[in-house]
């Protein structure tokens, strides 16, 4: 007899988590609480309620987390100009700490003994969910069915579902999907299928949010983004909430063929994985944020942020959002954004995000000093001679000692 009486399950209502729901009930003889998060994945989440009810679930949570997701997770990440391994905008990674947080909150509210998720034992998500859960509730028990059961394929899942009379749309579920997909307001990811051959080009009909650059409009789209302390607060002068900002940028970027990515990345568990990502709004945000920082940040502050960013990105990718080191870095990053205010003008054209203007009352760009015209004495060019000689001093000493460089 299991000592687990109640477990909170991250539940999508799809085949995998519906099988997990039934498996938990049978294996652990426990009550299951379901939690379904609306993170802007573009699919209806309410049907999950009916499926859970049909399987005897009495406590059902369906939460709209879109604003919290963008405000408290996506925006803070973009203040750091975060990309993993030079390309990936961390769309899946950044959603997991919020889901882990809510799982623990619901466990506390309902008096549950454990939480459960549908992540496999091969991927990063198991680490992200569980590191977050342990950080927020050290004694929580975690049940990861993919690491326990003998259901190792879609076919065995289907057979289990049929035998257990699980209310799944068998016509839809029985059709083999070529990709494993994850979606939220920041991105859609695609893995599996033809993508498991790194030489095979991704299929055009795979993409959901973006038109191909070849089919994007022949006329560029211009937009203006207003920043306040590092976050976008308005598009073309219209103030929007964080979730509204990202939704709008996804629409505009997708229509202009922006945000497609095909990469092979290094998973935390040690294997390489090929994934394709659609991140139209995020691609625009990254370019624009660097543009506004270029005129508002001190040089050394900007360079220090760039040096620390890969470490910060790895923390998020590997599941350490709730760690003290990520919090420490976030405090520094947020402090750097105090004067990151102003407007960036962008030209979007056939997959490209082109910065064409930036302005700010907090700009450190002084045209009187940087001008190629007469600067009226704002800068004494003769000062550069001593500056250069002092910086060359150690090299001149070494050369005088006969140190060979060639």
Per-residue model confidence as pLDDT tens digits over 85-143: 999 999 999 999 999 999 999 999 999 999 999 999 999 999 999 999 999 999 999 99
Query: Would the pLDDT of 52 be above 50?
Result: yes
Catalytically annotated residue among 38, 113, 116, 125: 125
CATH assignment, 183-297+339-359: 3.90.1260.10
Mention every residue, 6+ apart, whose C-beta is less than 8 A from residue 247.
40, 185, 281
pLDDT tens, position by position, 237-261:
999 999 999 999 999 999 999 999 9
- Kindly provide the b/e burial profile for residues 134-146, where b requires at least 16 CB atoms within 10 angstroms of the residue's own CB: ebbbeebebbbbb
102 is catalytic: no
16 is catalytic: yes
218 in Cβ contact with 257 (< 8 Å): no
Catalytically annotated residue among 49, 71, 154, 180: 180
356 in Cβ contact with 293 (< 8 Å): no
Domain ranges of the chain: 6-68+90-176, 183-297+339-359
CA distance 116 to 112: 11
- Token code pair at residue 270: 């040690």
362 is catalytic: no
Q: What band does 174 get if pLDDT is binned at 50, 70 and 90?
A: very low
Catalytically annotated residue among 12, 66, 93, 96: 96
Q: What band does 300 get if pLDDT is binned at 50, 70 and 90?
A: very high
403 is catalytic: no
- Kindly provide the b/e burial profile for residues 48-65, where b requires at least 16 CB atoms within 10 angstroms of the residue's own CB: bbebbeebebebbbbbeb
Query: Would the pLDDT of 173 be above 80?
Result: no
Catalytically annotated residue among 16, 113, 182, 231: 16
The CATH label, of 3.40.50.300, 3.40.50.10190, 3.40.50.620, 3.40.1110.10, for the domain at 6-68+90-176 is 3.40.50.620
Enter the pTM of the model. Answer: 0.94
**Range of lowest pLDDT (152-166, 173-187, 349-363):** 173-187
């Amino acid at each position: 007899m299991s000592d687990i009486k109640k477990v909170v399950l991250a539940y999508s209502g799809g085949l995998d988590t519906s099988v997990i729901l039934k498996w938990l009930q049978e294996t652990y003889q426990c009550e299951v609480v379901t939690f379904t998060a609306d993170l802007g994945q573009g699919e209806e989440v309410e049907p999950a309620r009916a499926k859970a009810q049909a399987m005897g679930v009495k406590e059902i949570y369906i939460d709209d987390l879109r604003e919290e997701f963008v405000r408290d997770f996506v925006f803070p990440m973009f203040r750091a100009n975060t990309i993993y391994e030079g390309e990936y905008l961390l769309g899946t990674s950044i959603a997991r700490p919020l889901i882990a947080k809510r799982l623990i909150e619901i466990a506390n509210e309902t008096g549950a003994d454990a939480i459960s998720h549908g992540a496999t034992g091969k991927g990063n998500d198991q680490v992200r969910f569980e590191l977050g859960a342990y950080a927020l509730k050290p004694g929580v028990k975690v049940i990861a069915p993919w690491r326990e059961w003998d259901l190792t394929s879609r076919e065995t899942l289907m057979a289990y579902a049929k035998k257990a009379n699980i209310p799944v749309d068998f016509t839809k579920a029985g059709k083999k999907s070529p990709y494993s997909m994850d979606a939220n307001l920041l991105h859609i990811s695609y893995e599996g299928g033809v993508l498991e051959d790194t030489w095979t080009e991704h299929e055009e009909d795979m993409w959901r949010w973006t038109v191909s650059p070849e089919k994007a409009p022949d006329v560029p789209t211009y937009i203006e983004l207003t920043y306040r302390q590092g976050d976008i607060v308005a598009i073309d002068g219209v103030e929007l909430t964080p979730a509204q900002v990202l939704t709008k940028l996804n629409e505009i970027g997708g229509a202009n063929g922006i945000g497609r990515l095909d990469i092979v990345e290094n998973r935390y568990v040690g294997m390489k994985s090929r994934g394709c990502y659609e991140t139209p709004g995020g691609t625009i945000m990254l370019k624009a944020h660097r543009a506004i920082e270029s005129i508002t940040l001190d040089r050394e502050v900007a360079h220090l942020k760039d040096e620390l960013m890969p470490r910060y990105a790895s923390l998020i990718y590997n599941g350490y959002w709730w760690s003290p080191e990520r919090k420490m870095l976030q405090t520094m990053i947020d402090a750097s954004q105090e004067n990151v205010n102003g407007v960036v003008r962008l030209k979007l054209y056939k997959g490209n995000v082109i910065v064409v203007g930036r302005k700010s009352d907090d700009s450190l760009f002084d045209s009187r000093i940087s001008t190629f015209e007469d600067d009226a004495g704002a800068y004494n060019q003769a000062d550069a001679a001593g500056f250069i000689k002092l910086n060359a001093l150690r090299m001149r000493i070494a050369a005088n000692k006969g140190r060979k460089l060639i």
